[in-house]
Amino acid sequence: MGLHLLHKSSLHKIFIKLDFSVNCKYFLKLIILIFFFLNIYKVSYSQINNSYIVGKITSKENNKPVKNANVYLAYTMLGSSTDDNGDYSIKDIPSGRYTLVISHISYETYNIKIAIKEERKYNFDIELKPSVYQFSTIRVTAEGQIEWEKNLEIFKESFIGTSYFAQNTFIVNPLDLDFNWNADDLLFANSQKPLIIINKALGYKIEYDLIHFELYEDYVKYSGFPKFSLLKTSNPDTLELWKFNRQKVYNGSLRHFLHAICKNYSITGKKLSPPENEINNSIKTDNGYNPEYLDYNFVEKNGFEVLYRSWLEPRFGIKPIIFYVNTNQYIKPTKNSNEMYLKFENYFEVQYQNPNKEKFPEDNDNKISWIKLEKDSVIIDKLGRYYETFGIKSYGFWATQRLADTLPYEYVYGDSLFIY
């Protein structure tokens, strides 16, 4: 996925409490929480099946096996490493689209798009191309060190984010990063090793293969392959805090919205709202367009209001065309029963107001985001995940959600937890 920044929105403060002392009174609470998480995971992530991936990783240079290569599915916690024979296996893979990534310090990172549809074995034997390092004599000066530190702060703000979750997220190996400004004032960043990132707010360790990063003024574009793993704690309060923070990150996110429109489609089909909920058809916009019916189903009940915009700002004094939309009109099923096509022109304006004020009383802002498709259409799955790099361009609130606000594919906010 790619992220683009055009403007920032303020986020509410979340106080992070970590590293409590553990005593006997927490033991029973810990057992109950573990049981709860296991059952929620089992129910919510029921797509797990018996599909698995096997294969052999070899060197393209001499056809010898590559051992200790990191093999994983990007944006998930699923992965393994190759043994002395170059063999690997990844088990219990849910149906869906993935990017299979193979990385090794001595070889170029390899990735391939795959689709898991049936419960069976999938075989991927892959040859890696040795990395070609070009070393140059570098003279380290105090001035150069100061410049690098400034670039690192700029990178962290654009890549990790600026939310309160980002304040509890840090890069373990920042010295592996290199920065470069070009003549057009574009900042580029790269790392020959995966970035190791610890998110203490959400409870994840992330190994991120950075493929591309560029920043120009208030615009950022980056892509890469993150692998998630759970941080460990024996403190039940920390587990409960992580669960709360993950729900808060999910609420109102792009992934939440995409899931909501898919769920709404499955509930209502292509139906418009009942007549009593229609916008008055005698009302027209300044440009003479009739507004569409407002959708009062699952999308609205999850706190979203969706409008079409012909463009973001007035042009030459002409106001953009704006009207409410029924999102059912812009998605349709694919051949895969778990996926949908999303297709629309120009922009969607999505306003989010958290409907669960009792659980999240501090989350009172009306969060506004805009999205446009960078392709004719994109494929999304019914859990709100999409797989095409830079397929959806975000503005506003969603543009402020960066790596510190990213959840692995395994995280599922089950429909039983939504408000109906």
Residue ranges and CATH numbers for the domains of the chain are 48-128 (2.60.40.1120), 136-230 (no CATH), 254-400 (no CATH)
> Residue 299, SS3?
helix
Which run of H or E residues covers position 307? strand 304-309
Instruction: Tell me how far apart the terminal alpha carbons of the chain are, to the nearest angstrom.
Output: 30
- pLDDT tens by residue, 1-60: 444 343 333 333 333 334 444 455 555 555 545 444 444 444 344 455 678 999 999 999
- pLDDT tens by residue, 117-133: 888 999 999 999 998 76
Mean pLDDT in residue range 210-231: 92
Q: What percent of the chain clears pLDDT 70, i.e. is strictly above it?
A: 78
Mean pLDDT in residue range 98-116: 94
Q: Find the range with the poorest average confidence among 302-306, 314-318, 322-326, 372-376.
A: 314-318
Q: Which long-range contacts (CB under 8 A, 24 or more apart) does 176-181 make?
A: 177/152, 179/148, 179/151, 179/152, 179/155
Distance between CA atoms of residues 251 and 4, nearest Å = 20
DSSP codes, 227-240: EEEEPP---HHHHH
Q: In whole angstroms, how large is the CA radius of gyration of the chain?
A: 23
Per-residue exposure over 167-185, b if at least 16 CB sit within 10 Å of its own CB, e if not: bbbebeeeeebebeeeeee
Q: Identify the residue with better confidence: 355 or 77.
A: 77
> Residue 397, SS3?
helix
Token pair for 190 = 């790269």
Sign of CA dihedral 204, 207, 209, 212: positive
Q: Which residues, 6+ apart, have CB-to-CB distance to 210 below 8 Å?
A: 189, 190, 191, 194, 195, 222, 224
Cα–Cα distances (Å) from 39 to 51, 97, 230, 231, in that order, read: 21, 25, 17, 19
Strands (E), 60-203: 70-73, 79-81, 87-90, 96-104, 107-116, 121-123, 126-128, 169-171, 177-181, 187-191, 195-199
- pLDDT tens by residue, 147-176: 999 999 999 999 999 988 999 999 999 999
Q: With 60 as the cut, is the pLDDT of residue 303 above it?
A: yes
Per-residue exposure over 300-317, b if at least 16 CB sit within 10 Å of its own CB, e if not: bebbbbbbbbbeeeeeee
- Exposure of 9 in the CB half-sphere (CA atoms within 13 A): 19
